[in-house]
Structure 1
Amino acid sequence: MIDNQPKKTKAYIAGVNLNDQNFDYYMTELANLTEANNMEVVGQSFQNAESIVAGTYFGVGKINEIRTMAQGLKAKVLVLNDELTPVQIRNLGKLTKMRVIDRTELILEIFASRARTKQAKLQVQLARLQYELPRLHPSENNLDQQRGGGLANRGAGESKLELNRRTIGKQISAIKKELKAVAGQEEIKAARRNQSRIPKVALVGYTNAGKSTTMNGLLREFSKEGAYKEVFVKNMLFATLDTSVRRIDLKDNFSFILSDTVGL
């Protein structure tokens, strides 16, 4: 037997507890999100603190502990339970010798891998660009690395940075325009559905709460073609990102339109 499944990247998760009673829950959720992003959680650490360290998120002692533990477990990625500043991410990457991603970037990566419809893909792409824009840094530009120090090199780096910002700004504008057009098409479809007197019902709840499973159960019970109309189900956070709409025909000739919405 040949295993064609790609090996999961080993990840180490960590966070700072600012006296939050729900911290353990958030760390468990972070582990589930990491697994949902096709990574294997091999260890975790946390630090109790009164405040976040501005430049490095953790204190120096905790950073050294995380680096040692993560290297021993052969972890390649450090996943953090907060949205970090660009400076914090860069500094932690240098100190731990690992790829560092925060909670926001983790969710964006999950969304990017799960988006199926054009609208969902555009929304994820827009969110990614809006996340990256304030995180651009002169030291990440190629022009900044081509020559030695000095004011000339500094100017080249800043020019490249502004070019990158303008490029991303144009991409954001173009995506917003395209999203507006797509939204207009969706509004037309919704208006057509609203013209009928069939009631509309929406399944609303947190991600992985069982909305899609509920819809599939109703389809199997009340639809002759239920097996062909079932939506994707998996025991995983944000398994689906696209709203699904199905017609449910009950036995007393009463029908309604059921929407399986995106998880909160």
Structure 2
Amino acid sequence: MLEANTYDGPSETTPLLIAHGLFGSARNWGVVAKRLSEDRTVRAVDMRNHGESPWFDAHRYPQMADDLAKVIPEQADVLGHSMGGKAAMVLALAHQEKVRKLIVADIAPVAYSHTQTPLIDAMRDLDLDQVETRGDADRQLQAHIDDAGVRAFLLQSLDVKARRWRLNLDVLADEMDSIIGFPHVSGTFDGPTLFLSGANSDYVQPAHRATIRQLFPMARFAKIPGAGHWLHAEKPREFEAAVSAFLNA
């Protein structure tokens, strides 16, 4: 069973399940989840091979969708970002009865070519024996990763005290083709679906809309101005407002 952080809200409202992206964790979503819990109970999970959840040899979307289904007692609204968005889409297609409304944050049900293996290589190359503080780790990562924001994001998954990553780096590397891909799925999810993207991101293209509407006939599209792929971190208030408006409609 996946580990989850729960933020209690009004029990008469459908609960919301949040699935994070690659290298993320439930903890990344704490501020957003807490604000959204004003209207409903929110559960943010650690996906398999991430955070405090169990490690497995497989990291593919059908298994991730089954993981999510197991933490939904009856029915939930589901929000997934990037990798978590793909898992949420497969959940909605394979377990339609579990999902009332679906929000897919900045990802489409297609295969991408942007491998994240270089980031895994950078994390593997970190000499954990030389890490006493997060700053020590950051200085080592600078040799491989120029972007301070990316380094800070990755380091949220480093347990400095235990000198270990809370990421199953070997399996994530082995399964990278599956992570950036999308499985062959049949059927449709006929519930309300919002594809919410960052206006500065190129992850959801106009060319993807035919595929999206084939799988999600009730899909709607919205963009958050000034946001990129990490729209929930870059424009949290606007993101929360868009999510709440859709769920409360």
Q: Per the shorter chain, which TM-score range? A: 0.3 to 0.5
Structure in which a larger fraction of residues adopt helix: 1
Given the two structures, how large is their TM-score scaled by the length of structure 2? 0.32
Given the two structures, how large is their TM-score scaled by the length of structure 1? 0.31
Q: Which structure has the larger Rg?
A: 1
* Higher RCO (CA < 8 A, seq sep 6+): 2
